[in-house]
Amino acid sequence: MQFGIIGSGSWATALAKILTDNGNTIHWWVRNTDTISYIEKRKHNPHYLSSTYFDLSQLHVTNDLKAVVAQSDALVVAVPSAYVEEVLGKLPAAALRGKKIISAVKGILPAGNQLLNEYLATHYGVVLTDYFTVLGPCHAEEVAAEKLSYLTFSGIDETTTSVIASHFKTEYLNTVVNTDILGVQYAAVLKNIYALGAGIAHGLEYGDNFLSVYIANGANEMVSFLRQLGADAETSHNYAASVYLGDLLVTCYSLYSRNRTFGNMIGKGYSVKSAQLELNMVAEGYNAAKCIHTINQSVKADMPIADTVYEILWNHLPAAEGFKKIETFLV
């Protein structure tokens, strides 16, 4: 199976390392020609996970997206959700048909409040049987350091999903398979909102005791949304599994979490714009807060934490006032 990777950020670079460490040759779309030249000369990404070196015989790096798509059987989409439409919009409508699409996107496409599979079905005719997700808990920095991590692959057909997952399994990376394509994607979106809120709490100098209660309530809120949405209408899923609760925990607690870092700055008094400039990376929880707020108008799940984080980020509710409000309904 020929793999293509679309994106060159930290997560895309980590996935490139995983695939090549497992003996795969990859076709890698990188937007910037200077970055391509650097990788070809110095064997590593100058901007992300720069300690990760590649065997150049396993890389075909190019900024020609159509070539990457044409040469790949399976495409890993690993760009921030806000830029997916800009990147994929360069492709003709039939370009992705028959390809296996593996989403490493951890957000909702904000223009239409769509998951990636919904966007691909509408614009490229990608059927759900050709769509898979790869989600954490898994920080790119720990992959680079080869610390044991777990990835969950989701797809309708468990056999095909297992075959795809096998290409990513290494000595430092274990793989898990499930069939909850909708649920795992929304869980990944929601955990970023709660992690951003956890960062705000830290910036406001709440302690570990409060944070543990906050995260427990966030986990309950997430499960309530998934059930109300109908994500587990056909199968009863274990929401304490790593791709749900585990990813929520690590994103809320880890110093590698960009959403937690972004929220910490908000809690310390940064404006959203200043925090974005300081972080210099995409915190998916920011746009996700607005998208989920909109989607929940029809889902109608009880989501007071997510609603309050949305009010802080998008409606200028002071962070301290928002968390005083959160204090009153945590149990």
Quote the CA–CA distance of 311 and 309 in Å, as a whole number.
Answer: 5
CATH number of the CATH domain containing 172 = 3.40.50.720
Instruction: With cut-offs at 50, 70 and 90, classify the pLDDT of residue 230.
Output: confident
Same domain, 242 and 163: no
- pLDDT for position 237: 80
Contact at 8 Å (CB) between 127 and 151? Answer: no
Average pLDDT in the chain? 94
- pLDDT for position 160: 97
What pLDDT, in 10s, does the model give residues 82-131?
A: 999 999 998 999 999 999 999 999 899 988 999 999 999 999 999 999 99
Which residue pairs from 9-12 have beta carbons closer than 8 angstroms and sit at least 24 positions apart in sequence?
9/48, 9/78, 9/79, 9/80, 9/281, 10/48, 10/49, 10/140, 10/141, 10/281, 11/78, 11/104, 11/140, 12/48, 12/76, 12/78, 12/79, 12/104
Task: Return all residues near 83 (Cβ < 8 A) that are at least 6 apart.
Answer: none
Same domain, 54 and 196: no
Domain-ending residue, one of 179, 212, 232: 179
What is the number of domains present in the chain?
2
pTM of the complete model: 0.93
Contact at 8 Å (CB) between 89 and 112? Answer: no
Tell me the residue type at 107.
Answer: G
Same domain, 56 and 165: yes
- pLDDT for position 169: 96
What pLDDT, in 10s, does the model give residues 38-89?
A: 999 999 999 999 999 999 999 999 999 999 999 999 999 999 999 999 999 9
Same domain, 207 and 148: no
DSSP state of 199: H
Residues serving a catalytic function are 191
* CA torsion angle 67 72 78 80 (round to 10): 40
DSSP state of 315: S
Instruction: With cut-offs at 50, 70 and 90, classify the pLDDT of residue 238.
Output: confident
- pLDDT for position 45: 96
Instruction: With cut-offs at 50, 70 and 90, classify the pLDDT of residue 235.
Output: low
Q: Can you give the residue range of the structural domain that contains 102?
A: 3-179
**At 230, is the secondary structure helix, strand, or coil?**
coil
Instruction: With cut-offs at 50, 70 and 90, classify the pLDDT of residue 240.
Output: confident
Tell me the residue type at 134.
Answer: V
Instruction: With cut-offs at 50, 70 and 90, classify the pLDDT of residue 283.
Output: confident
Domain-ending residue, one of 179, 199, 229: 179
Contact at 8 Å (CB) between 122 and 299? Answer: no
Residue length, the chain? 331
Same domain, 138 and 217: no
Tell me the residue type at 187.
Answer: A
Residue 311 has pLDDT above 70, yes or no: yes
Domain-ending residue, one of 156, 179, 202: 179
What pLDDT, in 10s, does the model give residues 205-215?
A: 999 999 999 99
